[in-house]
Structure 1
Amino acid sequence: MNNNGNEKSTLRMIILVATFGGLLYGYDTGVVNGALPYMSREDQLNLTSLTEGLVTSALLLGAAFGAVISGKLSDRYGRRTTLLYSAILFFITTLGCTFAPNAAVMITFRFLLGLAVGAASTIVPAYLAEVSPAERRGGIVTQNELMIVSGQLFAFTFNAIIGNTLGQYPNIWRFMLPIAAIPAVILFFGGLKLPESPRWLVAKGKREKALSVLEKMRTNDRAKTELHDIEMAINRESEIKKASFKDLKITWIRRLILIGIGIAVIQQITGANSIMYYGTEILKDSGLGTEAALIGNIANGIVSVLATFVGIWLLQRVGRRKMLMGGLIGITVTLILIGVSSLFLEGTTALPYVVLALTVTFLAFQQGAVSPVTWLMLSEIFPLRLRGMGMGITVFCLFTVNFLVGLTFPMLKGAIGLSSTFFIFAVLGVGALLFVKTWVPETKGMTLEQLEQKFRNYNKKKPKVLKKTEDVLNRNKESNNYL
């Protein structure tokens, strides 16, 4: 029987290396926050509000396509192999952005960098879900979200250090971008030691190899039991020969995809990433100088990391649906307060500090509840044969909405003002709440195979005898309550 310490050591290594994909995602999306004020100068890339939005959001558009492409590639070639290729793409495109001579080249390389971001955001949660024990899946998958916000915190911190020490140099933004090449190298060489997903191996008929991988992370008896469960799940899925858009004709699959798309969209429509991408610009507009805004923006990163720790803790104790509802309520109220304060405190010295306090509160709800649940549920609701395609479609929609928010935020802010922009996000937050209340099911405490069966059985008619028995029991219960 395997040593328990060895099992834990192998799993820890897998989690650490794989989540470097999340770290890269976080750094590459967060670094533009501090780089934009310098990049926009006339003697640099001379960005307008439109090209500023394009530089920021081109990565997100690329990520949308990267999510779809990588989902299919990971189903065909494996999670590990696809992750290795994404690490190479991270490295090359990071250098391309660093040496971009003009806005057009920058936008092009940011789009290509987005392909790697989309791949990492799709593959890493799915891979972690497939190697995790059922009782620890929530905490393990959510560690990728922790690495994403840690990457953003690193970006904000390095931006502030570089901006406040080298602010006199015109090309200062070129010192901020290439730091992301370091974790890309770590991801590649660390990824060479990662095992392939046991669920993917079983799907490809590599049973013995799958058992060998499981035995590195479980006791021998549990590895054999889990292998049996995986094989049973794959046998049940034999009616679906190959994951494709034709499968959307099946009612339960169509419903599942729509729920996944909804979960992905609601994470973005409240404008969380407008703060992560334009936090420095928001604080500057509120009254702070560039260097002070860079320092103030670090608070957003710190709170995001701390809130994610809280989110990981809550996921072990609170239902996914309840966390999502609570987070969205907090976000919507905070958005309203940002809009009101921006409207009534405009021009005062208090405004930048009030806005900073409220954006920190917003991110506490977002990263402590909404984001962890989003990525966890997307990684666990799709059955094996559909997981690559399902994650690809839903993450494509997530990044498409993210792209639209990133592109339009600077233009909206310039056209209708900060307060009206956040009021729009608040209205969308109400819509997100209604969707979760109506459509999103609870998934906590169930294996991936049990979740699949739950969705397959949704809305199936119960046998008449069982239905009559339930009716009698319900009537008796009502009588007893009345008495």
Structure 2
Amino acid sequence: RREMKRDKLNIFPLTLVLMVASAAIGGTLQYGYNLAIMNAPTTFIQTFINETFLERWDIQLEDYQVTLVWTIIVSIFSLGGFTGAFIAGPMTIRFGRKNCLLLNNIFLMSGAFLAVTSRAAGSFEMIIISRVLVGINAGISMNVQPMYFGESAPKHLRGAISLSSAVFTAFGVVLGQVVGLREILGSESCWHYLLASNAIPGFIQLLTLPWFPESPRYLLIDREDKEACLDALRRLHGCEGQSSELDEILAEQAQIKGMPHSRPWDLIRDQAVRWQLFSVIVVSSAMQLCGNDSIYFYASYVFKEAGISADKVQYVTIGTGSCEFTACIMCNLLIERKGRRFMLMGGFILMTVWAIVFTIALSFEQSISWMPYLRMTCIFTYILSFGMGPAGVTGVLPTEIFNQSARPAAYTIAVTRFTTFFGLKDYCFVPFATVCLLSAVYVGMFLPETKGKSLSAITAEFHKLNFKGLDPSHSPECQAMYQPGEVCHSTAL
């Protein structure tokens, strides 16, 4: 009984919890934070742009010209993220998961320095370069951190630990909204400090993350350092279950022995991972095309229509970020109980329902007085549904359905995202509802459940789809699969 009680207390080893906090605070938290902090200083930066042109070239910009420059400053963050997603794969292979996160702070600190000095230098171009560098940092973090978590967590906690990336992203949004309040750093005199405040989480990561181990899978499979792998397993997993986790890593090592690391275009040509890749692309694209970004776009307008004064909207908007943060925490608690397919399907189906309700509310806003309140309710329920499904589970999938040689390339494809907005006025959420519904159907029909399963078991299920109508045993990919008994002497460790 004493041993059972001790095992229950050690479900989340302390080292694993602290490692997750250290990696995430300078990782995916930065993505959400750097998105949110750009709302508060909009007017002040636009004034700064106009003053810069007037001082340098004696040119008074029109409103649309100022808006154009401001749009470049905001949107170029995505270009940086796109670049970061592409270089993250090679960086993780060369430097490892933990070292890649540490080196990633070079882009962050450089961007923060440019942002904080841009006002004194009178250069809006420095803000643009800063946003590119911060975007690269976010792109690398969104790629590497879920991989690091998924490879470091024990099998029974893999989903919950990997989903922590989404929890910290949502927390970053809330934190950015709070720090951006006028009473803190969202004022005219402090906006450049607000843009550079992302350096603080980066410093915390630089001080704490070096004390934690590298991914056990990376140490054994890529570096072939068995002693370091065993030490990492002891620290991250505790003594209980260490042998079974080592067996699984050895199985994966035997499976990909002699195989070079895949590149994104290699995965596209590889029949053995065709449905894995297609599933990642479908779910990742659906997460971006589901309309969650458009909900945030509509939020301020809907709150004003509901009678909230303009000077109070910033406080109510914090509720949208808090809503997603709460939903991600709920998803984190449920994912190991309900499974990945249930959470994804449930999230997409609920989003379909609320998108339809939101469309009805938009259509009847002129004729029914309480429709603005219904739309405001839809905003929070839509964000809740997004956070409980696609926002968290999507980042877990590449770790669970790809092996070590293909995982970096798979994350590169998964994190290379895009967004869009449909200009259909009252019916702008109909395409989003369609995307959510089709995604739920796809997940229900083709995506196997991965909860608690080894990579070999998950691969075997996908092989039924990849080699449907063929004999997969004759494929070179299957011949490389790990066979029980091949590493029986090693598993004695």
TM-score, normalised with respect to structure 2: 0.81
| CA–CA distance in structure 2, aligned partners of residues 37 and 106 of structure 1 | 15
| CA–CA distance in structure 2, aligned partners of residues 37 and 435 of structure 1 | 43
Residue 217 (structure 1) aligned with residue 229 (structure 2): no
- Partner of 1:212, secondary structure, is helix
- Partner of 2:262, secondary structure, is coil
Partner of 2:449: 442
| CA–CA distance in structure 2, aligned partners of residues 457 and 423 of structure 1 | 34
Partner of 2:283: 263
Residue 428 (structure 1) aligned with residue 449 (structure 2): no
1:94-129 C-alpha deviation (Å, 9 max, x unpaired): 343454456554333222211110111111111011
Kept after mapping to 2: 8 A contact 1:33/1:279:
no
Kept after mapping to 1: 8 A contact 2:108/2:134:
yes
Map of 1:221-236 to 2, 5 A cutoff? 222-236=241-255
In the alignment, residue 149 of structure 1 is paired with which amino acid?
A
- Partner of 1:375, secondary structure, is coil
Partner of 2:403: 383
- After the TM superposition, which of the residue ranges 225-234 and 145-154 deviates more from structure 2? 225-234
Partner of 1:180: 198
| CA–CA distance in structure 1, aligned partners of residues 368 and 179 of structure 2 | 29
Kept after mapping to 2: 8 A contact 1:43/1:170:
no
Displacement of 1:286: 7.2
1:141-181 C-alpha deviation (Å, 9 max, x unpaired): 11221111111111112223x2x5787x5455334322222
In the alignment, residue 36 of structure 1 is paired with which amino acid?
T
Displacement of 1:210: 1.0
Displacement of 1:276: 4.3
Q: Which of 36, 46, 49 pairs up with 2:42?
A: 36
Kept after mapping to 1: 8 A contact 2:16/2:237:
no
- Partner of 1:241, secondary structure, is coil
Map of 1:54-203 to 2, 5 A cutoff? 54-100=72-118, 101=122, 104-160=125-181, 162=182, 170-171=188-189, 173-203=191-221
Say if 1:343 and 1:462 are closer, same or farther in 2 by CA, change over 3 A. closer
Say if 1:76 and 1:286 are closer, same or farther in 2 by CA, change over 3 A. farther
| CA–CA distance in structure 1, aligned partners of residues 273 and 470 of structure 2 | 20
Displacement of 1:59: 1.4
Question: Percentage identity across aligned positions?
Answer: 24
In the alignment, residue 84 of structure 1 is paired with which amino acid?
L
| CA–CA distance in structure 2, aligned partners of residues 389 and 364 of structure 1 | 30
Map of 1:2-13 to 2, 5 A cutoff? 8-13=13-18
- Partner of 1:192, secondary structure, is helix
Partner of 2:339: 319
Say if 1:26 and 1:294 are closer, same or farther in 2 by CA, change over 3 A. same
Kept after mapping to 2: 8 A contact 1:153/1:298:
yes
- Partner of 1:443, secondary structure, is coil
Kept after mapping to 2: 8 A contact 1:30/1:277:
no
| CA–CA distance in structure 2, aligned partners of residues 308 and 302 of structure 1 | 10
Say if 1:277 and 1:26 are closer, same or farther in 2 by CA, change over 3 A. farther
CA RMSD of aligned residues (A): 3.1
| Runs of 5+ consecutive residues of structure 2 not aligned to the other structure | 53-62, 472-493
Displacement of 1:225: 3.8
Displacement of 1:81: 0.9
| CA–CA distance in structure 1, aligned partners of residues 163 and 201 of structure 2 | 19
Kept after mapping to 1: 8 A contact 2:102/2:209:
yes
Kept after mapping to 2: 8 A contact 1:307/1:368:
yes
Displacement of 1:298: 0.9
Q: Which of 33, 38, 42 pairs up with 1:27?
A: 33
The structure whose RCO (Cα within 8 Å, separation 6+) is larger is: 1
Say if 1:357 and 1:39 are closer, same or farther in 2 by CA, change over 3 A. farther
Say if 1:95 and 1:362 are closer, same or farther in 2 by CA, change over 3 A. farther
| CA–CA distance in structure 1, aligned partners of residues 305 and 68 of structure 2 | 17
Residue 18 (structure 1) aligned with residue 23 (structure 2): yes
Say if 1:434 and 1:53 are closer, same or farther in 2 by CA, change over 3 A. farther
Displacement of 1:51: 4.5
Kept after mapping to 2: 8 A contact 1:89/1:116:
yes
| CA–CA distance in structure 1, aligned partners of residues 190 and 51 of structure 2 | 10
Displacement of 1:442: 1.7
Displacement of 1:28: 0.9
In the alignment, residue 131 of structure 2 is paired with which amino acid?
R
Q: Aligned pair count?
A: 446
| Runs of 5+ consecutive residues of structure 1 not aligned to the other structure | 464-483
Displacement of 1:432: 2.7
| CA–CA distance in structure 1, aligned partners of residues 433 and 138 of structure 2 | 28
| CA–CA distance in structure 1, aligned partners of residues 250 and 354 of structure 2 | 47
Residue 454 (structure 1) aligned with residue 461 (structure 2): yes
Displacement of 1:237: 1.4
In the alignment, residue 108 of structure 1 is paired with which amino acid?
I
| CA–CA distance in structure 1, aligned partners of residues 449 and 291 of structure 2 | 25
Partner of 2:257: 238
| CA–CA distance in structure 2, aligned partners of residues 68 and 296 of structure 1 | 36
| CA–CA distance in structure 2, aligned partners of residues 140 and 165 of structure 1 | 32
In the alignment, residue 241 of structure 1 is paired with which amino acid?
P
TM-score, normalised with respect to structure 1: 0.83
Displacement of 1:222: 3.5
- After the TM superposition, which of the residue ranges 449-458 and 439-448 deviates more from structure 2? 449-458
| CA–CA distance in structure 1, aligned partners of residues 414 and 226 of structure 2 | 29
- After the TM superposition, which of the residue ranges 11-20 and 352-361 deviates more from structure 2? 352-361
